[in-house]
Structure 1
Amino acid sequence: MTPSDEILDIVDENDVVVGQAPRGEATARGLRHRCAFIEVRDAEGRLFVHRRTPGKLVFPSHYDMFVGGVVGAGESYDEAALREAEEELGVSGLPRPEPLFKFLYETAGHSWWSYVYRVRCELPVNPQVEEVAWHTFLTDEELAQRIDDWDWVPDGLEAYHRLRAFRPAGTAS
């Protein structure tokens, strides 16, 4: 099965399941579905940042400050957050990501409910080569210096700005 064949729950504006569709169809038709975004920080509090591979279905070769992805049909946001974080980081035994907030990401071509999480990963990472072309850990200051210079995934950038507004000033994790 390819990622395009993965079955997703299709949801309405209130995040209520109204049907199911293959991921490729949901993407092509702009059907609203669910995604999990996980902010990953290492033992020093630095943020995991990566560039997506060129073969990604959505936003190929863009930078992202979150790991994560779509929530499969019948899967909870919490289940998807742990699964996606472990898959993309190439680790097992990660602590359960902490749910922070949910928002609806909507543009002319895309629509998904986005649940933002955070987790501390003190394990050595070995990112999934199908998902991650390049990675590093950056301080908040180093990330801020790159925000305007790198091509970021637009949904991740929106989640980043919402997360900064969500947190009290001066807190990273």
Structure 2
Amino acid sequence: MCVVDEWVERVDGRDRVLGVVTRREAIREGWLHRIAVTVCRDDRRRILVHRRSEQVSRFPGLYEVEVGGAAHVGESYEQAAARELAEEMGIRAQPRLLFTFVNRSGLSPHWLAVHEAVVPEPDAVVPDPGEVAWHGWLTEPELGSALSEWHFTPDSREAFSRYLAFRRRGE
């Protein structure tokens, strides 16, 4: 599979734009850039989990709790989250931004914006087979077991832990 590089905004520790670089450069140099992810829930409060395709360049075959990717140049976190949901899962929704933090797990440090979306028709999710090998809806106890037994991307555990803490605070 041919990997096409993305243009992203290099940002500082306060999430201010410093310039435009390729995502490959940002990863190689350890420069902060922006990633937007969404935790999807259905009306029964189950959480969407998926396994990445073996063909993707980053973390092939690993599971994820969130759906997302890099924010393109000039794109807000919310725009990036909505675009990634549509591209990867066929979900048309406007995710709600919950919080951002500098995530140092994964390939390189990045600002991670965590969103939430309620998916009213979980059976209508149509993943891109080039991106997603499997998907399913898990209850929180099921997901807790999966997080200790399955191989997840480096972002998944920290992002989901912070997501649960955010929800518990009732924000």
Q: Normalising by the residue count of structure 1, what TM-score does the alignment of the two structures yield? A: 0.89
* Conserved? CA contact 2:8–2:20, under 8 Å: yes
Tell me, yes or no, if structure 1 residue 45 matches structure 2 residue 48: no
1:64 matched residue in structure 2: 64
For 1:91-136, what per-residue CA distance to the aligned partner results, in whole angstroms no more than 9, with x for missing partners? 33x2x11111111001485111001110011230110112111111
Aligned mates of 1:3, 1:34 — CA distance in 2: 19
Give the C-alpha shift of residue 47 in structure 1: 0.6
* Conserved? CA contact 2:91–2:125, under 8 Å: yes
Residues 151-162 of structure 1: pairs in structure 2 closer than 5 A: 151-162=151-162
Stretch deviating more after TM superposition (112-121 or 98-107): 98-107
* Conserved? CA contact 2:97–2:114, under 8 Å: yes
Give the C-alpha shift of residue 141 in structure 1: 1.1
1:30 matched residue in structure 2: 30
Per the alignment, do residues 127 and 109 of structure 1 end up closer, same or farther by CA in structure 2, a change over 3 Å counting? closer
For 1:4-48, what per-residue CA distance to the aligned partner results, in whole angstroms no more than 9, with x for missing partners? 422100111111111111222222332211011100012322110
Percent identity of equivalent pairs? 38
Q: CA RMSD in A?
A: 2.0
Q: After TM superposition, what 4+ stretches of structure 1 lie above 6 angstroms from structure 2? A: none
Aligned mates of 1:20, 1:55 — CA distance in 2: 27
**Unpaired runs of 5+ in structure 1?**
none
Stretch deviating more after TM superposition (23-32 or 133-142): 23-32
Residues 102-117 of structure 1: pairs in structure 2 closer than 5 A: 102-107=100-105, 109-117=107-115
Q: How many residues align?
A: 168
Per the alignment, do residues 4 and 11 of structure 1 end up closer, same or farther by CA in structure 2, a change over 3 Å counting? farther
Aligned mates of 1:129, 1:108 — CA distance in 2: 23
* Conserved? CA contact 1:9–1:73, under 8 Å: yes
* Conserved? CA contact 1:3–1:24, under 8 Å: no
**Unpaired runs of 5+ in structure 2?**
none
Per the alignment, do residues 109 and 41 of structure 1 end up closer, same or farther by CA in structure 2, a change over 3 Å counting? closer
Aligned mates of 1:45, 1:108 — CA distance in 2: 28
Residues 135-154 of structure 1: pairs in structure 2 closer than 5 A: 135-154=135-154
Give 2:7's aligned amino acid. I
Give SS of 1:167's match. helix
Per the alignment, do residues 29 and 143 of structure 1 end up closer, same or farther by CA in structure 2, a change over 3 Å counting? same
